A and B are shown apart, each in its own frame.
Chain A
């Protein structure tokens, strides 16, 4: 489900790429340091985006940079960021993955999922104590979505909105700021985009294998306009927030990067502009 909100690296300069990777590597580092090595596998592009998004507003001042060689990229030393926002993104990675795994285990009874969740459990318990609001939202939200899926909900707006609510809570790191509502609505819109993109990408396969997909009843749906709708909502909320230092990375991701997976799958040159192109799902 996660892995659609990533940068278009072909359109980034070397410095910009380094900056993005410093966030990505920073989260990995935080996961390994504050939790354990297995927790590193929860690393996702989406939470990396959240880290650079939240950090760009400079609401906490304690970001520092480290320089290291790591197992995954042993060739050269590279820069990684450290700080509260990075740690928060790392924690949310674990929380989301933990509940997703528990969900998958309940669904498919794949024992390995339960095992993986178990390895995350100790860290998750600490995180749940630190961030009860977000963890409760994730747990209840995924449960509700699971129920909708098991009763074959045909209205795609319902699970989409429910997932949006989860991410809205996660993006709302600090509810005390007066811009809090915009963070929540940004996360909400992004969550809807992610859930819907996931459904769109899985549709062909799900139809073949007779698995549930919220878009099964949508015979005439053009995915690009409706995905654009939610991205548009993200942009509207983003524009209400103060200046962001990572504006360039954010624009690259929201206008370009998010379409990479879709375009690769559908061989479409310019999905957001080429409205005339219709695709039979």
Chain B
């Protein structure tokens, strides 16, 4: 399962501002908690929709500010009155630190909510990376998970819990590496030609034909 905000809203990647807002409104109407009291699934879905809309609106890391952002900002105080409804399963509790909240969400298997909370954390200690790794791994962001797990271990090499997480997110690659024992590896190879790495295997590469170094 990949976390793709466009997919969550059911629109294509080149949807315009109007289409994005329309999709958000339609879904918000469908899943609004007032229509589904005491339904944690609907509430979780609402949180996911909010987050997807946020991600697109804010253009994620390094995204440029656009007129769309001001427009969307205005939307939230419009007549619909839905605004940002945050489902808080720990209702009533006083402000918890984001890392603790995220850990609790992870225990509840609400990984997207966990990521949402982690994104709002003002600091990023080793624990942030460890929790992010777990949340990302379970939402299909396995490359991100491996990098974050490695970062957590680099920051606190003696923490067995982080070592454990690193091992878990790497378990798939262990499978391959065990299977590949005994296969002659690329160390035996020294092709003069790039063997297609740079010319996409275009057989017209003169280097390949004449056994000369790649001429690209």
Least Cβ–Cβ distance between B113 and chain A, in angstroms: 17
Majority secondary structure, B binding face: loop
Contact A259–B154 (Cβ < 8 Å): no
Q: Tell which of A160, A229, A261 touches B146, judged by Cβ atoms closer than 8 Å.
A: A229
Size of chain A's interface in residues, with CB distance under 8 A? 70
A135→B196 CA distance, assembly (Å): 24
Is B202 an interface residue, CB under 8 A from the partner? yes
Alpha-carbon distance A224/B146, docked complex (angstroms): 11
Chain B's closest residue to A165 (CB) is B2
* CA distance in complex: A24, B203 (Å): 10
Whether, in the assembled complex, B140 has its beta carbon less than 8 Å from a beta carbon of chain A, the answer is yes
Please tell me if the beta carbons of A219 and B183 are within 8 angstroms of each other in the complex: no
**Which among B175, B186, B202 is the interface contact of A264 at CB below 8 angstroms?**
B186
CB–CB A155/B203 < 8 A: no
Known contacts A3-B200, A8-B189: A261-B62 contact under CB 8 Å? no
Min CB–CB distance A199 → chain B (angstroms): 9
- The answer to the question of A245 belonging to the interface, with a C-beta cut-off of 8 Å to chain B, is no
**Which of A28, A151, A152, A263 contacts B186, CB < 8 Å?**
A263
Do B201 and A2 touch (CB < 8 A)? Answer: yes
CA of A32 to CA of B133, assembled, Å: 49
CA distance A257 to B147 in the complex (A): 25
Of all A-B residue pairs in the complex, the 5 with the closest CB atoms, nearest first, are A263-B186, A232-B176, A3-B196, A261-B197, A269-B187
Interface set of A (CB-CB < 8 Å, partner B): 1-4, 6, 8, 10-11, 24, 28, 40-41, 43-46, 48, 72, 140, 143-144, 147-148, 151-158, 160-161, 196, 201, 217-222, 224-229, 231-233, 235-236, 251-252, 255-256, 259-265, 268-273, 275
Given A10-B188, A263-B185; 10 other pairs, CB 8 A cutoff: A3-B195, A3-B198, A6-B201, A152-B61, A158-B4, A161-B4, A219-B151, A229-B142, A256-B184, A272-B176
Cβ contacts A to B, 13 pairs, < 8 Å: A2-B200, A43-B202, A44-B201, A154-B62, A157-B143, A219-B147, A228-B173, A229-B170, A229-B172, A232-B172, A251-B183, A255-B183, A270-B187
Binding site for A on B (CB under 8 A): 2, 4, 12-14, 59-63, 136, 140-144, 146-147, 150-151, 154, 170, 172-173, 175-177, 179-181, 183-191, 194-204, 209
